[in-house]
Structure 1
Amino acid sequence: EAGYDLGTGDGPIVTPHFSDKDKLYAIVQNLYQQGVQTSAVTYPIVEPGRGRLRLICSAAHTREDINRTLEALIVAEREVDAQLLAGREEPTDSRITEADLVDWAHTFGTYLTEWIEEAPLAIPSLTISVQVAEQGEAISLVVRDGKVGLNTSPEGLPSCTLLLSDRKAFQALQAADAQGLLASISEGTCVLKGQVEPFIWLFARLVEQGSWVSAGTNQEVEELAV
């Protein structure tokens, strides 16, 4: 039942429809890895089972650009279908281990340290914690005085905690997949505790980390504005 609509305006609006929410967000991530930026929108009340993927091309984009985008969409859908089929056929371990959290904290902490060295503005002091819901202790990253520390939680700093209840939510965090993490929050598999400001700061860093990873792996792919 998937298809697309073309709208008018400054440029064409390509709106493919997908009824499977997991497939919709997986396609967004696949397109992002191909260098095509887009957004996924679902309407659970107004349009049950009808999610939309919006690609809005500006007047500066040529018909060739649009064709390349649609070709990338076809490739993404084919790859996602194969991944979803494999996922249904092969049971996966959905557990999140303490080692997973520690590995993420070290990787993200290293990224933050490098980012802070280049940051033009003052860096706020705060604590970011990640914990498997209802299990074990949280793994905490503390940013204070421009330095990043692991597993130290000084009192008095603004803080937020992400409680993860399935591996999909952790994988979104691990991949710096901001959209996937938002989807997990919406689904209740990533629950936020604490203050809003540290989470906004964390989310901004995840978006930048995701863009940095994408740029490093897609240097020769032209990014299309949406």
Structure 2
Amino acid sequence: MNSRRNVAKDIASLHFNWAGWFLMIIITIYAVFKWGILPIYLEGENFFQFSYQSAKIFSLVIGIISGGTMFAPYIRHGLTRKTAYAGNVIAAFVITACLTATISMITAVEVIVSDSTLFPSPWFFAVLSMFIHLSINFMTGWLITSGYLRFGGIGMTGFILLALFITITNDSILNINSGQAPIFLTDTLASSTGLSILFGAGMLALLVLLGKMTTRHMPIKLK
């Protein structure tokens, strides 16, 4: 347990550094756009909505980086694959939870000081949806890199196609403000927030399981 915690702590510390830079950049861009320094009108969009897409891309990118650089080094230092992977997953949940909480708190402050800004409704499901969405994107990125390391170029191609499918599906289902879904999904699933959250949680659990299966036989160079 301590080994998992230490792995998660090491990886999360790097994630927090990257997330700090990401938040500074996105807040600056939002402030520039929101208060009209540049001629771009956000049409009542709040910080939560503005940062959602960028946060998803950020999670995907750090997932790709983590899958390639934050697993093998711990195996070389004598930890088991199970421990190293568990630490990576814990760190993924920590950074996505903190990112979601920070974005939500900034939006809450914005709502308080600005009468023209409203928090996405229902707010609890909006926040939970972001957390699940960011976690899914992180694990999807992790799988792209681990798929390449496990199966080579062909494997990476297959995992990239899987990532595209997952991204398109979850963008349609977990978007609180969208009632549209791919043609192979029911309208009920797209329009019901509770079902969307359950579907996203199930998809996240499947990705964690796939990641564990992929890393189980991933070749590791010990030198």
TM class by smaller structure: under 0.3
TM value normalised by structure 1: 0.28
Higher helix share: 2
Higher strand share: 1
Q: Which has the higher contact order (CA 8 A, sep 6+)?
A: 2
TM value normalised by structure 2: 0.28
